[in-house]
Amino acid sequence: MAVAARKGRTTASPHASITTTAWPGFLDSWLSRIPLPKWALISVAVAVAILLVLFLICIIRCCCGKKKPKKKERINVCGISNSTTASLVQPEMEDLERGVEQMRRGKLQYSLEYNFRTQELKVGVKQAVDLKAMDSGGTSDPYVIVYLTSDMKKRYETKVYRKTLNPIFNESFTFQVPQAEVPESTLVMQIYDFNRFAKHDIIGEVRLPLASVNLQHVIEQWSELAEASKVEEEQLGEICFSLRYVPSTGKLTVLILEARKLKRMDSHGLSDPFVKVHLILNRKKWKKKKTSVKKNTLSPYFNELFVFEVPFSQIQNVDVVISVWDHDKVTKNEPIGKLFLGCRATGNQLRHWSDMLSNTRRPLAQWHILQPPDVVDKALGLKSHLKLRLASR
């Protein structure tokens, strides 16, 4: 029986080996059908495997690697141990202090007192501290210029104090300011460094709009000096007038209505304004008319009408010059400001003129800002007076 058992095991082994080698045999038979060398098949298999791995990695990162939304990151400079990194994030304290010192220009103490009965503003320049050093020796020679933007022609100056950054001025100045004009005025106090042989350098300034100040009480306060702003252009005032043109009759009508905020021309802070209307034809003076004089006012009301005959064929060649003058009995009349309208004009003046031509027979009123007389004369490029020839009989 033992022999029979051994025989049975011997005969059974071939069948067992066939069962274990059936899959490799099938794979070999399948690969043998592909007309490629074995090394090429191995390369393709490796490439496919790599692509599958990369694809799986991408899926895992997209599905499982989503980051939570970050909150606003705050850099804790104290927690940074690396000194190089800390210097990149936070500037040196010495640099910050140096920058603050360069911006710091000092402080100015001043007082304000307005007398409603006499309509006078009294400005007291008290003292300054910690002024910026402008000289090579680390000091300055400061003095203060005081003026109002509503009357820049009238300026006051304090004495010059040598080699100090903490001058005590204790000087006061009085401005004549009508109560109605107080809200429109700004008090300017500028501190300069005096130089005998060079241009005086400005250290800083304080600008105080009077509309923001309660002048019912005496005010005394300190203010930080700021960087000086650009010098503002002198305000000459504004004028309102209407234009009307009727092509069929050739009549150009100019109605001078009123003016406001005119420049002060007289010593008492007012003016005696009147208005001239000139017609310029082909850059030569042609016709002119003027209003009556309004005494002692910076906001005159005229409501005076002037009619000029201008043929439709000449309307494109005509400039209308509006000028405001200060009347003076003793000396020569002085111009306060001018402007001109016509096809050569620009800005609001050209727009007003164009609207008049587009809306014939209809009067159109508009406010205009007065410009310096010399600027307008230069823009007009006036020639000699127009001399009209008499028709020969």
- Name the token pair of 120: 């006078």
Judge residue 314's burial from the number of C-beta atoms within 10 Å of its C-beta, 0-12 exposed, 13-18 middle, 19 or more buried.
middle
CA–CA gap between residue 211 and residue 333 (Å, rounded):
34
Query: How confident is the model at residue 341, as a pLDDT?
Result: 94
Residue 91 token pair = 């500037």
Cα distances (angstroms) measured from residue 316 to each of 211, 282, 312, 362: 45, 9, 8, 18
Contact 382, 285 (CB under 8 A): yes
Where does the chain hold its CATH 2.60.40.150 domain(s)? 104-225, 238-380
Global pTM reads: 0.46
Q: How far apart are CA 326 and CA 202, in angstroms?
A: 34
Task: Please work out, in degrees rounded to the nearest 5, the angle formed at the alpha carbon of residue 105 by the alpha carbons of 102 and 106.
Answer: 135
Three-state SS across the chain?
Answer: CHHHHHHHHHHHHHHHHHHHCHHHHHHHHHHHCCCCCHHHHHHHHHHHHHHHHHHHHHHHHHHHCCCCCCCCCCCCHHHCCCHHHHHHHCCCHHHHHHHHHHHCCCEEEEEEEEECCCCEEEEEEEEEECCCCCCCCCCCCEEEEEEECCEEEEEEECCCCCCCCCCEEEEEEEEECCHHHHHHCEEEEEEEECCCCCCCEEEEEEEEEHHHCCCCCCEEEEEECECCCCCCCCCCCEEEEEEEEECCCCEEEEEEEEEECCCCCCCCCCCCEEEEEEEEECCEEEEEEECCCCCCCCCCEEEEEEEEECCHHHHHHEEEEEEEEECCCCCCCEEEEEEEECCCCCHHHHHHHHHHHHCCCCCEEEEEECECHHHHHHHHCCCCCCCCCCCCC
Other beta carbons less than 10 A from residue 281's beta carbon: 15
Instruction: Print pLDDT tens along the chain (393 aa).
Output: 444 444 444 444 444 444 444 455 555 666 666 666 767 777 778 888 888 888 888 788 776 655 554 444 443 334 434 443 334 444 455 544 444 445 788 999 999 999 999 999 999 999 999 999 888 888 999 999 999 988 776 888 888 899 999 999 999 999 998 888 888 889 999 999 988 666 788 999 999 999 888 999 999 999 999 988 765 556 788 999 999 999 999 999 999 999 998 988 876 778 899 999 999 998 888 899 999 999 999 999 999 999 999 999 999 999 999 999 999 887 888 999 999 999 988 877 888 999 999 998 889 999 998 988 888 888 888 754 444 443 333
Give the tokens for residue 122.
């009294």
Q: What's the CATH number of domain 238-380, 3.40.50.720, 3.30.470.20, 2.60.40.150, 2.40.50.140?
A: 2.60.40.150
Q: How far apart are CA 101 and CA 98, in angstroms?
A: 5
Measured between alpha carbons, how far is 91 from 101 in angstroms, rounded to an integer?
A: 15
Confidence (pLDDT) at 76: 39
- Residue 218, pLDDT score: 93
Cα 6 from chain centre? 111
pLDDT at res. 275: 96
Backbone angles phi, psi at 96, to 5 degrees: -65, -45
Superfamily of domain 104-225: C2 domain (2.60.40.150)
Show Cβ contacts of residue 154 under 8 Å, excluding neighbours closer than 6 positions: 147, 148, 175
Residue 264's pLDDT is 85
Query: Contact, 273 vs 259, CB < 8 A?
Result: yes
Cα–Cα distance measured from residue 163 to residue 141, given in angstroms and rounded to the nearest whole number: 5
